[in-house]
Amino acid sequence: MSTLATWRRCALTLGLTLGLTLPLGSRPAEAQVAPDDPWRTVETEHFRVTFPAGLEPLAARAGVRAEAAYSQLSRDLVPIGAGRVDILLTDHVDVSNGLAGMSPWRRILIYARPPTDAAGLQYFDEWMELVVTHEMAHIAHLDHQGTLARITRTIFGRPPASWPFFPNAMVPRWTTEGLATWYESNLSGAGRVKGTDHQMVVRTAALEGTLEDLGQAGGDSPVWPGGNRYYVYGGQFLADLVARQGEDGLPGFVEAISGQWIPLRINSASREGFDQSFSQAWTDWVEGEESHADATVERLTRTTPATEPVILEPTGWEQLYPRILGDGVVFSRADRRADPQIRQWTPGSGTDGSGGTGRKLLRTNGLSTLDTGTDGTVVFAQLEYLDPYRIRSDLYVRSPDGQVRRLTRNARLSHPSIAPEGDRVVAVQEGEGTNRLVLVDLPSGELVPLTPFDAEVHWTMPSWSPDPGRIAVSRWVPGGLWDLGLIDPDTGIWTPLTRDRALDMSPTWTPDGHTILWASDRTGVPNIFAVTRSQGGGWSPPKQVTNMLAGAATPATDGEWLYFSAYGADGWDMGRIPYDPRTWFEPQETDPRFLGHRRTPPPFDDDSSPAATGPGTAPDTSSEAPEYRALRWALPRYWLPLYTSGEENRGTRILGRGVGAFTGGTDLVGRHAWDASLIWRPDGGLTDWRLGYTFAGLGTPVLGASVAQRWDAAGPFGLPSGDEIIPVSLEERERSAGVSVTLPRPRYRTFSSATASASLVRSETRVRQIGGDLLPSGILRRPLQTLGQLGLYAVFANHRSHPFSVSREDGVRLEVRGRVRQDLTVADSLTGVVGWDGSFDDLFGRASGYWAFDGPGFASHVLAGRISAGYAQGAGADAFHFDLGGATGQGIPGLNGLGGTSLLFPLRGYASGVRNGSRAVSASAEYRFPIAILHKGLGAFPLHLDRLMGDLFIDAGNAWGPELGVPGFQNPWNDWLLSAGGEVRLRLTPFWAGGLDVRAGLAFPLVDGDGAGFYLRLGPSF
């Protein structure tokens, strides 16, 4: 086939594949910052604040709060190093979060959504102050350096690593997050340490005997409270330790870790800071919490018995937001074992409703807020991607016949409540770093604002009364006042019902509209309260409805039963008790934290000059604020040494060892990214190098370019020379230049992407005598080749994965890669001649599928299957184009001899490369099952054992071709190779650094085998 025909065919294939894959859409962990936005940057004395248009006032507030935190932490924790800290304020994701990073520079990312419905985070005097103080505590803590870090950072810069560059990052996460949570609370006047949510988690665990020990708290287990354990246990433990040993202990601990030349010795550092090891202090704290919990129970039950609800479906984690539907209830559930969903529970035939049944009403993207209409309609909010960088919350409607339609798009709505007429909804709308109430027309989705966006007012959890003229809602105003009140949907007039520092949340109405129930933590323990309207139109003093010893939240009632979320040691379950106002009682004593002084963060000056630099002065964020300059961030700020062991075959070294360096950079918003590496091999004076660049400034597509040189080797071979055979090796230098275009399409439930690439490759092959000099190039047919290549890689996935899962579940992953490589310098007379023409076309595809089903154990059981197939043709497609054999996964350092690795065509029980060919197929079938949740640590030793899982598998595979009809070039089809075996997977957390799967397997080759083979690998098989 001619060169022109080949490139035309490639273009046609590319167009067809793009057309088939791009309209399709595995779920990314989180959207990135939008690199295509018109960002602006302003500066204060110690900070650069970068923000998109529309967030100017919030950027000014962030700068002021950051300067205040800088001053306080420099005084109370450790001195903060010189140079500005970058704050990136983004409003592209409708979740509340903040992140801090140390490499390649100090930076803070803040999502501009107030945490109005995030448990624990709701207790704030000002949300920006809370998040900035927390993240600045991370900056001060993690950036602090002793002698060793000062030396290594002077030499290497700020690489993406922990010890020895950032020694304070190599501690348990409960230490890192606990310290930041403590300072967040100590410096802001509110925060999670001083709130009731984290205290509830610890108190309940103490009452039920499930308080985690020091080793468990350092793990990465999905057992409740999951990832929140670092904040809960770390904050509460350190608060107790500081109360007993003094505030100087925290900076002393940070200094001690910074000064360690031998890492991971947290007990030693604790003794230096607190005069007590963490191991002993943790034991003391657990004993104290158990005694405190017992005292709390005695106080709460002295005059009123504890409320004991009937739990509908005891799964734990999160069951929230109940709403009445028919004679039962619907609610949101996310139990970390199955899809987040809206459940419907229907009472049984017993007089007390016993024997009720539950079913999944619909799957949702995360834990959804919702409401129900009298006709059975369900309106709910959920997140969805708008593009690869933006995730928005919108409203959806499920009709009584089960049909679901999207009501709004890019409206940023949550917490819907349906009007009694059923024609409109009140909801909370995010924007401008705050939120507002809006009315949404149910048929059309049109919005009408009910309140303005106001940085000094936040709203959450509205509830429309049976009387269409009133909406109960929780409102925050300065002073940390989360109070309950009524708002008129026609006039917007506000009528307060409570006024105190307690969190008064999730109001709901009785069917007659005379009583409002809500959840409040005013006594120090979250419980349900109620007020009733009198005949004169006023409201009675609050009554306490429940006396839960752990906690209660999100009530709903049909007038016969009261449903609410009941807290237990493994999270929130949906419970219910009879609705009986005769059992309500006078509220228990208000917790002292909610009485007395109400702190408001100091104001800042919005009218400051552009040169403002003072810690209490806002930066200039007018329309004249400087545009964001991306390239100044992309300068190299670190380098890391590289080493390669070269290549050795049959005891002979054919490619020398190499040393070199790697560096890279990216700008603050990810518009530009680049990397560069260089490796020098002293034996032979060979160099490998690469320079790559990615540009995401268009949003999509993402553009890439690279140039590289690399050396490869083969051999040893015997070269006849007169009467002797000279041992030689072949050295190949490949120089390449390429470009790529990537079109990603993430969605909450699916992910698809297509990458098209083009490259030019210059290949030079030469012969070297083993341990000696180069031989003349004339002994090779074609020492020089120039090749052009077009490629396409596309992927689609819709499988699920949950924190407790033993595997991917319920979905597929499909991949396809096609390449056309054309030899551009071969003579026309030699086109298609093996050994002369390096051209080839190849196609590789892989399909994986997963099906989950119920079974014994902590998670679903899974049947998984995968098939891979490859086909190559052309003169350059030799018998070594594809390799078959080996076990997938990363080898364990020092144990690489225990089985090979094959990414494309694995076949456990056989060595990597057991067969080769221009055609290859492999297939695997697995049964994956849970064995045990371990959740065991070793105290202060940096190792946590999370869970144990098992796999049974059958593998099959084959590789063959081409059959060229030339002696020595026969590679015919042979019988299939087949193996079977089993694996045990242990998920652990080494060095407090996140979950890792270690897989030990035993494979039995069933065809042409040499006996059972044992292997160790990191990561799952597929």
Q: What is the mean pLDDT of residues 796-809?
A: 97
Nearest to 786 by CA among 833, 756, 822: 822
Q: What is the mean pLDDT of residues 43-60?
A: 95
Residue 899: its pLDDT value, please?
37
Bridge partners (DSSP) of residue 575 are 311, 564
Q: What is the mean pLDDT of residues 932-950?
A: 97
Which of the pair, 994 or 177, is modelled with greater confidence? 177
**Confidence class of residue 30 from pLDDT cuts 50, 70 and 90?**
very low
Residue 797: its pLDDT value, please?
98
Mean pLDDT of the chain: 91
Residue 474: its pLDDT value, please?
98
**Confidence class of residue 724 from pLDDT cuts 50, 70 and 90?**
confident
- How far does CA 245 lie from the centroid of its chain? 36
Got the DSSP string for 18-85?
HHHHTT-----SSPPP-TTS--EEEE-SSEEEEE-TT-HHHHHHHHHHHHHHHHHHHHHT-PPPSSPE
With tokens 């990314």, the residue in question is 28
Inter-residue contact 481 to 494 (CB < 8 Å): no
List the single range of 223-232, 596-605, 777-786 with lowest mean pLDDT.
Answer: 596-605
What CA–CA distance (Å, rounded) separates 668 from 695?
13
Q: Provide the token pair at 941.
A: 């030793």
Q: What is the mean pLDDT of residues 965-992?
A: 88
Which of the pair, 27 or 323, is modelled with greater confidence? 323
Q: What is the mean pLDDT of residues 813-833?
A: 93
Q: What values do phi and psi take at 279, rounded to 5?
A: -60, -50
pLDDT tens profile 192-204: 999 999 999 999 9
pLDDT tens profile 305-355: 999 999 999 999 999 999 999 999 999 999 999 999 999 999 987 777 678
Q: What values do phi and psi take at 937, rounded to 5?
A: -120, 175
How far CA 639 is from CA of 104, 148, 162, 658, 678, in Å, comes to: 10, 17, 14, 17, 11
Inter-residue contact 368 to 94 (CB < 8 Å): no
Residue 3 has pLDDT above 70, yes or no: no
List the single range of 23-27, 45-49, 773-777 with lowest mean pLDDT.
Answer: 23-27
**Confidence class of residue 772 from pLDDT cuts 50, 70 and 90?**
confident
**Confidence class of residue 639 from pLDDT cuts 50, 70 and 90?**
very high
Q: What is the mean pLDDT of residues 838-863?
A: 97
Question: Is residue 597 packed enough to be buried (19+ CB in 10 Å), middle (13-18) or exposed (0-12)?
Answer: exposed
Residue 597: its pLDDT value, please?
60
Residue 634: its pLDDT value, please?
81
Residue 19: its pLDDT value, please?
29
**Confidence class of residue 238 from pLDDT cuts 50, 70 and 90?**
very high
Residue 475 has pLDDT above 70, yes or no: yes
Handedness of CA 732, 735, 741, 747 (dihedral sign): positive
pLDDT tens profile 573-624: 999 999 999 999 999 999 999 987 666 777 655 443 333 334 456 676 555 7
Residue 229: its pLDDT value, please?
97
Q: What is the mean pLDDT of residues 716-726?
A: 82
Which of the pair, 93 or 777, is modelled with greater confidence? 93
Nearest to 132 by CA among 234, 59, 42, 233: 59
Nearest to 338 by CA among 949, 801, 799: 801
What CA–CA distance (Å, rounded) separates 717 from 712?
15
Q: Provide the token pair at 90.
A: 């983004």
Residue 23: its pLDDT value, please?
28
Residue 969: its pLDDT value, please?
61
699: left (phi over 0), alpha (psi -120 to 50) or beta: left
Nearest to 232 by CA among 178, 173, 296: 178
Q: What is the mean pLDDT of residues 206-217?
A: 97
R_g (Cα) of the chain, nearest Å: 32
**Confidence class of residue 908 from pLDDT cuts 50, 70 and 90?**
very high
Q: Provide the token pair at 432.
A: 């401008």
Q: What is the mean pLDDT of residues 658-685?
A: 94
Inter-residue contact 762 to 735 (CB < 8 Å): yes
Residue 11: its pLDDT value, please?
33
With tokens 């060095």, the residue in question is 991
Residue 258 has pLDDT above 90, yes or no: yes
Residue 383 has pLDDT above 60, yes or no: yes
